[in-house]
Amino acid sequence: MSLNQVKKKKKGKKRNRLIFRSAVLAILLIAVIFALVNNFQQDNTIYSAGDKAPDFQLQQISDNNELESIQLSDLEGKGVMLNFWGTWCEPCEDEMPYMEELYPEYKDKGVEIVAVSLDATTLVVDRFIDKHDLTFPIPHDTNGEVMDLYKVGPIPSTFFINPDGEIEEVVNGALTLDKLEGHLQDIQPEL
């Protein structure tokens, strides 16, 4: 092989390597751009006071309540305490007796308590309901769809929604009896 042929072969390899590297770089660049655009298009809204509460529908699982399902938009005109909880969560368990104590009084005043269970199965929820003799609606969010919709992080998390369907207050953590009653008064419809 002559020196010219070696140089030509070496030059051809360099060109092929450059084309290959450019193609790989272009693919990586396209992947990064796609990931960034996709990330910006996701809804990362965290709801706060003044926002319209997103609508949802879930199956209600408490035998102590006559409703079969809960659709938030059906409750427009009422105040709604929307609570996210799980049986494994001690602070959630601590506030349940307060919710049950105030439920009959505030239901008559036009306020509904809706406690969305985030448990995996209904069996443990049924035992929990019986243990605390809970009578308010307990819809079951089996796949976490509503939890994701409301961007719920730690539980218990509670959204107090006014009769116009707007979020009045978001509370993360357990509520005391006094604080709970104060929030229920705030979302009570005017008669």
pLDDT digits (tens, 9 = 90+) for 140-166: 999 999 999 999 999 999 999 999 999
The 3-state DSSP class for residue 169 equals strand
Query: Which amino acid does the sequence have at 28?
Result: L
Name the packing angle between helices 90-108 and 177-186 (round to 10°).
40
pLDDT digits (tens, 9 = 90+) for 14-73: 888 888 888 888 888 877 776 666 655 555 568 889 999 999 999 999 999 999 999 999
In the sheet that 111-117 helps form, which strands lie side by side, from edge to edge?
Answer: 111-117, 79-85, 157-161, 167-172
Whole-Å CA distances, 79 to 47, 113, 117, 167: 17, 9, 20, 10
Return the beta strands (E) in the chain as ranges: 57-59, 69-71, 79-85, 111-117, 157-161, 167-172
pTM of the full structure: 0.77
